[in-house]
Structure 1
Amino acid sequence: MATTTEPGTGPATGRALIVIDVQESFRQRESWKHASDPGVAHQVAKLVEHARAGRDLVVWVLHAEPGTGTAFDPQLGHVRLMAPLAAADGEPVLTKTSHNAFTTTNLQQLLTEHGVHAVTTCGIRTEQCVETTTRLAADLGYATTIAIDATATEPLPDPDAPAGRPYEQVLADPATLPPAVVIERTRYALAGRFATVATVEELTGS
């Protein structure tokens, strides 16, 4: 549930939690029931609660693809946070149209205004929007952490496979990468190069 930020208790730590694309759009996809963690919103909620308690800035990012008629088209009403997540008063909610959360939003300006020097990322999809945002944040000079078990992704089809196959064929294809493999690849790619890789328990102490 959302909480109200009382006057004088807003972000003041130089830290920010960036929640990326944890939105209803994914629940509309056939592939989501095969995701690594269809209930990832509950893991994210733990990070949000911890960030608010520590007076860290919480920034919500949603992905939109206007005019496409897909689950990411705002006209269809699915470009909204997954329950039980909700932005508290004063928490920015940004909408992006690029893979990373910086290029098509004012995220960097917001972080600068709040004196943020360290960010933690989480969300959907691990190897796509979350990883891309994490890499760019590191290149921009932020001390960056990815909460790896507060990310989720879906099976990743072979890019050379025919498009438009029934999803059963995608799942049966031995060249399709299982979500656990995709997440492990992100862990290997980011750790020690672009980010500290941590778990929710390590970050919150519970």
Structure 2
Amino acid sequence: MTKKALLVIDVQESFRARENWSAVNHPDIADRVNRLVRAARANGDLVVWVLHIEPGTGGVFDPASGAVRYLEGLEPAEGEPQVRKTAHNAFTTTNLQQVFTENGIQEVVICGIRTEQCCETTARLAFDLGYVVTFVTEATATTPLPHWTLPADATLAEVLADPRTLSPETVVERTEYALAGRFAIIRTLDEVAPPVMAS
């Protein structure tokens, strides 16, 4: 039987502390991820939790900010591995691959924040490392993506007013196009964590 791990990437308060969170495509991301977590635990799959940190920066990803913690409603169970990364992907600056090897993991299910950044980057690297990757786009979240020439300190209003800005829907679509058939199998939330029917 294939051993599977659910990778919960960066579902942390750091993102809620940013202005652009008000334009996030899935404000209920914690609930969506929790569905996958419950299903993974019920299946006996490994659940691995990832937080992004940028120590000494003074920003929302600096552990000193107090924002580097899981979104309300998310909580690792006893014994579930937790890693902290400083790169976009969840492997390079962590012992994640060692955790997977020790647990005999062959398949990885990916969810988290942000769809096109840390989630997509992790999916690509996981595939290149030999894992079968399932990408649950509905259990990822992202925000409007500004054109690269817009100043980094542009306000959300400026980002939204720029016709070159990509909507979260467009970002998600592009991520799925890039991953499907190359790096990952795209699955819906219902496919991976079927709704529990009321009896």
TM-score, scaled to structure 2:
0.96
**Which residue matches 1:104?**
93
Query: CA-atom RMSD, angstroms?
Result: 1.0
**Which residue matches 2:192?**
203
Q: Does 1:36 align with 2:25?
A: yes
- Could you list the runs of 5+ residues in structure 2 that have no partner in the other structure? none
**Which residue matches 2:43?**
54
What is the alpha-carbon distance in structure 2 between the residues aligned to residue 144 and residue 166 of structure 1? 35
Runs of 4 or more consecutive aligned structure 1 residues displaced over 4 Å after TM superposition: none
What is the alpha-carbon distance in structure 2 between the residues aligned to residue 141 and residue 35 of structure 1? 32
- Could you list the runs of 5+ residues in structure 1 that have no partner in the other structure? 1-11
What is the alpha-carbon distance in structure 1 between the residues aligned to residue 22 and residue 152 of structure 2? 20
**Which residue matches 1:79?**
68
2:134 match: secondary structure:
strand
1:86 is aligned with what amino acid?
E
Please point out which of 55, 58, 65 is paired with 1:66.
55
**Which residue matches 1:186?**
175
**Which residue matches 2:164?**
175
What is the alpha-carbon distance in structure 1 between the residues aligned to residue 59 and residue 113 of structure 2? 17
2:3 is aligned with what amino acid?
G
Shift of 1:39: 1.3
Contact 1:99 1:133 (8 Å CA) reproduced: yes
TM-score, scaled to structure 1:
0.93
Q: Does 1:146 align with 2:135?
A: yes
Shift of 1:38: 1.4
Shift of 1:13: 5.6
Please point out which of 15, 27, 32 is paired with 2:4.
15
What is the alpha-carbon distance in structure 2 between the residues aligned to residue 166 and residue 51 of structure 1? 38
What is the alpha-carbon distance in structure 2 between the residues aligned to residue 110 and residue 163 of structure 1? 36
**Which residue matches 2:126?**
137
1:179 is aligned with what amino acid?
P
Contact 1:13 1:55 (8 Å CA) reproduced: no
What is the alpha-carbon distance in structure 2 between the residues aligned to residue 21 and residue 163 of structure 1? 21
Contact 1:13 1:56 (8 Å CA) reproduced: no
**Which residue matches 1:25?**
14
